[in-house]
């Protein structure tokens, strides 16, 4: 079991700066954060990952026994409060079955004098990330599994984009699987809202291997990018599921930043993948953003019978318009006949976690 480690005592000047940060944060969290001490509500369990701006832990609600995920963000004097609050506000406004559910936010005194820790409490996805799934398998996912995950991720992206929100860090590590088989987009620390006065973004942010060419060049030449950057990243994530890593993963990240804008769009290496899968990647990984389809346009492919055979999202049974997901158990659990550990069942629903707190 891993728990947050205390930080070294700060200097007097740092303590003063921390106090100023805390005062600003408390003002801005007014009406958002719950007033209870989160330690009285949640029992911290295992460390389950590192998200943007913080460590993520599995925790148990003491009253109900329900599991939740808790991201702990220790506030430093130089911390950009807009970045810290961005994820809270983003999650609060995103209620969708394909987006990890927001439970609550708490402000807790840290182990260092004057320091505060923000607790962002979210729905716990017991199946882990898609990245963890293929690593547990030690093998690529099957095409029909990839199609289900990508389809559900598109549902989440469609919702976000309709709300004029960009995720900006789509990858298998940020796609979670629940115990009942739902796919959830997670980690919104670098997500952004597109407003009427800011129709596009030119901020260089995200994870290099999954990054769209226009995102990389935006910092270099001041150009813009929009929702289509998420579509590129989803295409790269689909390759990641098929090959257990994104393209160019053997290269240094700085080299990748140079290569992506100058290289041809990546393709699947193995000839076993269907032409429909390759066509899907071809349209997602078009280097001209305006020529990429939207999330809604991609979703229309497998809701229309006339496009059935031009989509990877099919069951290979012409009587069905949706895939029939293969039955594969949770990572870490074995078949009765001791076959390899596999994925959780895909495609079922679960209820989001309820908050145990009371708003201030």
Mean pLDDT over 129-150 rounds to 94
Q: What is the pLDDT of residues 193-241, one digit of tens each?
A: 444 333 444 444 557 999 999 999 987 787 788 999 999 999 999 999 9
Domains and CATH numbers, the chain: 12-123 (3.30.200.20), 130-310 (1.10.510.10)
Does the pLDDT value for residue 148 go beyond 70?
Answer: yes
Q: Which of 108-112, 179-183, 300-304 has the highest mean pLDDT?
A: 179-183
Q: What is the pLDDT of residue 33?
A: 83
- Any known ligand binding at 71? yes
Q: What is the pLDDT of residues 233-264, one digit of tens each?
A: 999 999 999 999 999 999 999 999 999 999 99
Does the pLDDT value for residue 290 go beyond 70?
Answer: yes
How high does pLDDT run on average in the chain? 77
Q: Which residues contact 201 (CB under 8 A, 6 or more apart)?
A: 166, 168, 192, 194, 218, 224, 225, 226
Please list the active-site residues: 169
Q: What is the pLDDT of residue 287?
A: 96
Q: What is the pLDDT of residue 350?
A: 37
Contact call for residues 72 and 118 (beta carbons, < 8 A): yes
- Using DSSP, state whether 263 is helix, strand or coil: coil
Contact call for residues 288 and 217 (beta carbons, < 8 A): no
């Amino acid at each position: 079991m891993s728990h947050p480690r205390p930080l070294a005592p700060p200097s007097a000047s740092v303590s003063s700066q921390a106090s100023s940060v805390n005062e600003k944060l408390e003002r801005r969290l007014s009406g958002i954060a719950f007033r209870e001490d989160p330690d009285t509500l949640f029992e911290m369990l295992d460390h389950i990952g590192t998200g943007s701006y913080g460590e993520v832990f599995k925790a148990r609600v003491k009253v109900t026994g329900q599991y939740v995920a808790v991201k702990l963000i220790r506030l430093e004097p130089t911390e950009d409060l807009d970045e810290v609050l961005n994820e809270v506000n983003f999650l609060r406004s995103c209620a969708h079955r394909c987006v990890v559910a927001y439970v609550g936010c708490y402000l807790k005194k840290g182990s260092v004098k004057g320091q505060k820790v923000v607790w962002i409490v979210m729905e716990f996805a017991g199946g882990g990330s898609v990245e963890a799934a293929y690593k547990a398998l030690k093998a690529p996912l099957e095409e029909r599994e990839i199609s289900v995950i990508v389809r559900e991720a598109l549902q989440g992206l469609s919702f976000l984009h309709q709300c004029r929100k960009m995720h900006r860090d789509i990858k298998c590590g940020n796609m979670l699987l629940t115990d009942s088989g739902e796919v959830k987009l997670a980690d919104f620390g670098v997500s952004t809202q597109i407003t009427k006065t800011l129709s596009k973004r030119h901020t260089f942010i995200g994870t290099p291997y999954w990054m769209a060419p226009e995102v990389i060049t935006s910092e270099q030449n001041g150009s813009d990018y929009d929702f289509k950057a998420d579509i590129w990243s989803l295409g790269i994530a689909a390759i990641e599921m098929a090959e257990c890593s994104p393209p160019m993963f053997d290269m240094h990240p700085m080299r990748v930043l140079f290569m992506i804008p100058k290289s041809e769009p990546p393709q699947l290496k193995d000839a076993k993948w269907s032409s429909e899968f390759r066509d899907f990647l071809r349209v997602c990984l078009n280097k001209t953003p305006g020529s990429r389809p939207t999330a809604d346009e991609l979703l229309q492919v497998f809701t229309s019978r006339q496009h059935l055979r031009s989509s990877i999202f099919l069951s290979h049974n012409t009587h069905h318009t949706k895939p029939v997901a293969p039955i594969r158990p949770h990572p870490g659990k074995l078949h009765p006949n001791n076959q390899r550990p596999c994925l959780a069942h895909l495609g079922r629903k679960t209820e989001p976690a309820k908050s145990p707190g009371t708003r201030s």
